[in-house]
Amino acid sequence: MAATAKKASPWEDKFNEPELDTLREVYPKVVRSLFDDAHERLLEFADVTETLAWEGLPWRWCLRFTVAGDPTRAFAFLVPNPEKPCIGVSFTGEMLQSMPLHRLKKYMKETLVASHDVGGMFWTSFDFISKSQLDDAMDLIKRKHSFIKSKGA
């Protein structure tokens, strides 16, 4: 008997660009609301543009946000992982050095300190399944945006 291949979820299917609604409909109502809140808040930053893009493993299909003058690959990524959404953010070393680590929550500090250096960019990701986790990630993203705008001025 031939084994049947498991059909990939839209998030994992590299060859078929999904609709955003298809990606977010897998979440329970509360998590979907947080995802939508993250999406709206990322769009509120000045000069931001978004693109639904295939980013490979582990982020697969996600929303890539870019801001003019950002020296990193992208301003932020909103990753609709069906298990739990996350926000990916890369920083330059100078951006990380400008972060007031003493003001951040312990887990946020630890995430920044443990960020992966890939080609001179330091990569982080923040899962969020509560409003406070999303608020913490958005605080860092706001600081990144302020850094970018202060350098472009």
pLDDT tens for 15-43 read 999 999 999 999 999 999 999 999 999 99
DSSP H helices, 44-130, are: 93-98, 106-113
Round to whole Å and give the CA distance between 120 and 38.
27
- Per-residue model confidence as pLDDT tens digits over 60-96: 999 999 999 999 989 999 999 999 999 999 999 999 9
Query: Using 50, 70 and 90 to split pLDDT, how confident is the model at 153?
Result: very low
Q: How far apart are the first and last CA of the chain?
A: 66
DSSP state of 69: T
How far is 44 from 48, CA to CA, in rounded Å? 8
Rg of the chain (C-alpha set): 16
